[in-house]
Amino acid sequence: MHKSCIFFMAYNIPSGPIGQMNSGGGPMRTKKQPNILQAIAGAFIGVLLVLGSPVAMWMAGSQHRAKDFQVAQQVDLDTVASGYVTFRGAPELVTKTAKTCFDSDCIYEHESVERLETKQSLECSKDIKQDEMTRILYQDGSEYNDETGETVPCYQVERDSWVVKTEHVIANDVMVGSFTITPNERAEYLETVETIDETEFDLNDKAIARSVYTTFRTPDMLLVAGESSDGRVVMPEKRTYVFSQYDHPLTLQKLRDIDKESRMILWLVTFAMIFIGYSMIFGPIQSLARIALHIPGLAPVGRAIAQGSRAMIGVLSFILAVVTWAIVWFFVTIIQVWWLGLIVVVLLGLLGWWLSKRKK
């Protein structure tokens, strides 16, 4: 009987005042919910997210690595061509200026010096899982959600994370035929190799400092697409700078894959901005619905109203997000792809002419 009472206090609706000690040790807390003023402020932020979503959509439609590479002029290694060119040949490092990389000879290498930092925080959830980077220290009370009627345990949790302290870059000039190429951090490197070098350990032999190297090794055959002038190849102002260990067709395919992946990610970012934006815009509705929770004798009804409003806002935000995303995608696409926009204008003109003729 005694154990049943303890279980009820820890995992059901609390009967005592906030701050009362519970069976897990520590206080019983009430989950903080945004008040009406905070919800109204959030609604303004939601409007900004929806209005800003076309920017992310525009970025999604502006992925141009493969298009740039396709228009690069393919030239021979023994010519001194100018402009945006591409060529392929056996590379040789310019030994006078070459710096030693961690992972063999390389054209480009990025070093990220990181240190393991540990932070302790209070987390209230039934789904905290321990792993190599996460440790539950002890239970510290519980948290009650007056909107759902659910009580969950709270824990003091330690989480490790690698924090970047400094970064270093090695960019070695390389010669291919009559061209001297200068690498750049913003170039596309196909493919790089990541190497982790653990440099410091604690008393338990756990790594607490490391260097992460991202390296573009010197290949047997190097393909480059860049801006050439008097035999010197550098980063173009607007087009993509490409370093590849593959031939021309495979390089083009990999750049298309990168463009596709970036486009998909930005499409998802656009949808997330719109969905979260609408959810925040409707936030004051849920805050008003939660008022019923504090009316004596109406807590069960208020809980149903609050949960219903949350579900309604979620469904409505999702539907509006889908519709808005499609509209934004349509108009951004017809603006970016001029010939598609021209077709739409012509079709709309023909539709207007047909409707006017039908009325006559």
Measured between alpha carbons, how far is 213 from 216 in angstroms, rounded to an integer? Answer: 10
pLDDT band at 20 (very low <50, low <70, confident <90, very high): very low
Task: Summarize pLDDT for 75-133 with one digit per residue, the tens.
Answer: 998 887 889 999 999 999 998 777 889 977 899 999 999 999 999 999 999 989 999 99
Quick check: 214 pLDDT over 70?
yes
pLDDT band at 295 (very low <50, low <70, confident <90, very high): low
Quick check: 327 pLDDT over 80?
yes
- DSSP E strands in the chain: the ranges are 28-30, 73-74, 83-89, 92-93, 106-124, 134-145, 150-171, 174-176, 179-181, 188-190, 193-201, 207-217, 222-229, 232-234, 242-244
Provide the mean pLDDT of the chain.
86
CB 152 within 8 A of CB 26: no
Structure-token pair, residue 182:
């200068």
Task: Summarize pLDDT for 134-190 with one digit per residue, the tens.
Answer: 999 999 999 988 777 789 999 999 999 999 999 999 999 999 999 999 999 999 999
CB 119 within 8 A of CB 250: no
Identity at 254, one-letter amino acid code: K
- Each domain of the chain, given as residue ranges in start order, spans 34-66+247-360, 73-238
Poorest-pLDDT segment among 80-89, 93-102, 223-232, 323-332: 93-102
277, burial (CB in 10 Å: exposed 0-12, middle 13-18, buried 19+): buried
Q: Above pLDDT 70, what percent of the chain?
A: 87
